[in-house]
């Protein structure tokens, strides 16, 4: 009886944990494929789960941040979906590779050509973005999810540090530390080249020392072999003489 009660309590606790953790996996989110380093470019996936049992997700609208506008935004084709890119003039001048940017992407909309994301499934929408800002630790994207029954869910609440996650949080992309620039990469390469050269010299020295040691060992073994051989010959001659004397 006691064991049954413990088992029942365990099941209830497990279900409670699942119930509490489920919302964290149910909202629209964004994750990089690899890293999203400050000042660089990245491919990010907007992951859209279907939260309904009686309707499919047929449309997704993702609004891009205006405080850190992105000069380059290119959605990857997704089978069964049509994408539309909305552009606007940036609020402040932007430059990319030395060129003035007159338009930035403010929104990308995906519309299903067929059934969309059916119940029990999710869909990823990949987008290439850049250059990522160097003066921010994260980017907030606001998303609107539309179902086949005309229901609309707005994932636009910005999570606040130290507070509970809102019911409909906006997708947040965390940015990693900036990677080395071309000069830094060159310096790093030179350093690595120097390390490689030094390692090669050490290896050569070790090999030479090893070869020298091997030669010395071979010589010693050769001398030992000669001595042992000579001793064997001498012993054989002496034994033969003793047998001859005994026979006489």
Tell me, what's the pLDDT at 5? Answer: 56
The answer for 30, left when phi > 0, alpha when psi is -120 to 50, beta otherwise, is: beta
Token pair in block for residue 210:
């090893």
| Predicted TM-score (pTM) of this structure | 0.63
What pLDDT band is residue 180 in, cutting at 50, 70 and 90?
low
pLDDT in tens, 154-167: 999 998 888 898 99
The answer to whether 110 and 83 are in contact (CB under 8 A) is yes
Query: 208 Cβ partners below 8 Å, 6+ apart?
Result: none
The answer to whether 130 and 44 are in contact (CB under 8 A) is no
pLDDT in tens, 84-115: 999 998 877 777 767 788 889 999 999 999 99
pLDDT at residue 238 tops 60 = no
Tell me, what's the pLDDT at 4? Answer: 54
At residue 247, φ and ψ (nearest 5 deg) are -70, -35
Please tell me the distance from the alpha carbon of residue 186 to that of residue 188, in angstroms, as a whole number. Answer: 5
The mean pLDDT value for 239-247 works out to 49
pLDDT at residue 26 tops 80 = no
Chain position carrying tokens 């497990």: 14
121 in helix, strand or coil? coil
161 in helix, strand or coil? coil
21 in helix, strand or coil? helix
Mean pLDDT for all residues in the chain: 75
């Amino acid at each position: 009886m006691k064991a049954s009660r413990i088992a029942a309590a365990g099941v209830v606790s497990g279900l409670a944990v699942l119930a509490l953790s489920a919302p964290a996996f149910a909202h629209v989110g964004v994750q990089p494929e690899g890293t999203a380093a400050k000042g660089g470019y990245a491919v990010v996936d907007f992951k859209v789960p279907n939260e309904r049992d009686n309707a499919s997700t047929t449309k997704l609208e993702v609004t891009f941040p205006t405080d850190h506008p992105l000069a380059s935004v290119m959605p990857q084709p997704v089978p069964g979906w049509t994408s539309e890119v909305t552009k606007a003039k940036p609020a402040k001048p932007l430059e990319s590779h030395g060129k003035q940017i007159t338009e930035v992407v403010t929104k990308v909309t995906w519309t299903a050509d067929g059934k969309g994301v059916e119940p029990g499934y999710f869909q990823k929408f990949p987008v290439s973005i850049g250059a990522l800002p160097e003066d921010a630790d994260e980017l907030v994207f606001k998303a609107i999810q539309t179902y086949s029954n005309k229901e609309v869910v707005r994932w636009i609440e910005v999570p606040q540090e130290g507070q509970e996650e809102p019911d409909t949080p906006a997708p947040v992309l965390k940015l990693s530390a900036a990677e080395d620039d071309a000069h830094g990469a060159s310096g790093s390469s030179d350093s690595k080249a120097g390390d490689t050269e030094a390692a090669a010299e050490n290896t050569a020295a070790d090999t030479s020392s090893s070869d020298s040691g091997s030669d010395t060992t071979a010589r010693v073994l050769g001398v030992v072999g000669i001595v042992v051989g000579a001793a064997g010959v001498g012993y054989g001659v002496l034994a033969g003489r003793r047998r001859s004397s005994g026979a006489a």
